[in-house]
């Protein structure tokens, strides 16, 4: 049997006639399954000409990369497939098979219009507003945001509060996040809002210790600073557990969860709670 030599890195070229979010999202979702191998992603967006496709194929051929594309204009799509085949480049059409099957089942031709998903509609402006909200009320900068938020995240430092807030903002939720620190009293506003709006983020001490050490290294600081010491971490986690118990809020353990997974759980809880309130 002929075993090909394993590689440690691969570059995937995401080609799109729009912003490329769909293609990159699919590649990242697949890449997780090959961790800790490195998969680099290069976006080529708003492609409108054969010249752009020539450039992508040349770049991919030079480093034996792979091309993933979401081109809906048939002429450009077919040209890319043909060129990639000639250069022996792995080239994957994400939308073509789906659109083709939908056309068959619906007995209707696709519009073949790039970027329709990003048209400026009501949902787009809602997401922009939510992102601006998350930035303004990040890390307890302005506690009045607690009263205005759809969701309030609480937890110690490095429990992914900010990434979660931004991810949920992209789904249209207004999210404020509040750090829990033993030396600081939590804002009084936290105790005046419905508990079903609050989500406590819990993490194991060993996991938090490792994350904080890496954070300190990234900042060029000593890994043994008080911020990453086990004693300090246990103090913070104990304090945060007390506050979450007083708030009587839902608590999620984020120790071994990706941001996307935690966000999905929060969205499900929020919608269930909202539906319950609507029925009553």
Closest CA to 135 of 103, 102, 170: 170
**What is the chain's mean pLDDT, rounded?**
88
Question: In the predicted model, what is the mean pLDDT of residues 154-178?
Answer: 95
Give tens-digit pLDDT for 210-246.
999 988 888 888 767 899 999 999 999 999 999 999 9
Based on the fold, state whether residues 89 and 169 are members of the same structural domain: no
Question: In the predicted model, what is the mean pLDDT of residues 110-120?
Answer: 61
Residue 157: count other Cβ atoms within 10 Å of its Cβ. 16
- Tokens, residue 169: 């903002």
Question: In the predicted model, what is the mean pLDDT of residues 84-105?
Answer: 91
Distance CA 161, CA 159 (A): 6
Question: In the predicted model, what is the mean pLDDT of residues 128-148?
Answer: 93
pLDDT of residue 275: 57
Q: What is the dihedral of CA 87, 89, 92, 97, to 10 degrees?
A: 40
Closest CA to 149 of 87, 194, 180: 194
**Do residues 250 and 269 lie in contact, with contact meaning Cβ atoms separated by under 8 Å?**
yes
Based on the fold, state whether residues 244 and 164 are members of the same structural domain: yes
State the residue range of the domain holding 204.
Answer: 122-279
pLDDT-based confidence at 279, cuts 50/70/90? very low
Question: In the predicted model, what is the mean pLDDT of residues 3-23?
Answer: 81
pLDDT of residue 103: 86
Which residues are within 8 A (CB) of 63 and not within 5 positions of it... i.e. 6 or more apart?
11
Based on the fold, state whether residues 131 and 240 are members of the same structural domain: yes
Domain boundary among the residues 88, 103, 118 is at: 118
Distance CA 151, CA 178 (A): 11
1 within domain boundaries: no
Question: In the predicted model, what is the mean pLDDT of residues 50-65?
Answer: 94
Range name among 3-12, 22-31, 167-176 with the lowest pLDDT average = 3-12
CATH number, domain with residue 110: 3.40.50
Of residues 220 and 276, more confidence is placed in 220
71 within domain boundaries: yes
Based on the fold, state whether residues 218 and 108 are members of the same structural domain: no
Which helix (H) or strand (E) element contains residue 199?
Answer: strand 198-202
Note if the pTM is more than 0.75: no
Number of domains present in the structure of the chain: 2
In the chain, what percentage of residues exceed pLDDT 90? Answer: 64
Based on the fold, state whether residues 191 and 259 are members of the same structural domain: yes
Residues facing 178 on adjacent strands: 154
Which residues are within 8 A (CB) of 29 and not within 5 positions of it... i.e. 6 or more apart?
none
Domain boundary among the residues 83, 118, 153 is at: 118
Determine phi and psi for 111, rounding to 5 degrees: -75, -25
- Tokens, residue 170: 């992209």
- φ/ψ region of 104 (left if φ > 0, alpha if ψ in -120 to 50, else beta) reads alpha
Based on the fold, state whether residues 163 and 183 are members of the same structural domain: yes
């Amino acid at each position: 049997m002929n075993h090909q030599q394993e590689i440690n890195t691969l570059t995937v070229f995401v080609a799109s006639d729009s912003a490329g979010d769909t293609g990159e999202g699919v590649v990242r979702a697949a890449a997780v399954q090959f961790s800790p191998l490195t998969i680099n992603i290069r976006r080529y967006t708003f492609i409108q000409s054969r010249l752009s496709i020539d450039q992508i194929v040349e770049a991919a051929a030079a480093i034996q990369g792979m091309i993933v594309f979401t081109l809906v204009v048939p002429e450009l799509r077919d040209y890319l497939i043909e060129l990639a085949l000639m250069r022996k480049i792995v080239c994957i059409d994400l939308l073509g098979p789906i659109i083709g099957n939908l056309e068959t089942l619906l007995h209707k031709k696709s519009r073949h219009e790039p970027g329709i998903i990003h048209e400026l509609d009501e949902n787009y402006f809602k997401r922009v507003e939510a992102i601006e909200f998350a930035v303004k009320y990040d890390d307890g900068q302005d506690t009045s945001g607690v009263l205005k938020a759809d969701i309030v995240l609480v937890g110690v430092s490095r429990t992914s509060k900010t990434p979660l807030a931004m991810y949920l903002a992209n789904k249209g939720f207004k999210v404020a996040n509040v750090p829990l620190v033993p030396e600081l009293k939590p804002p009084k506003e936290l105790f005046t809002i419905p508990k079903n709006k609050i989500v406590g983020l819990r993490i194991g001490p060993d996991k938090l210790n490792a994350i904080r050490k890496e954070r300190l290294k990234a900042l060029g600081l000593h890994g043994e600073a008080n911020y990453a010491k086990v004693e300090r971490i246990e103090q913070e986690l104990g304090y945060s557990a007390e506050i979450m118990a007083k708030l009587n809020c839902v608590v999620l353990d984020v120790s071994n969860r990706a941001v996307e997974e935690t966000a999905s759980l929060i969205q499900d809880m929020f919608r269930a709670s909202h539906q319950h309130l609507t029925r009553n």
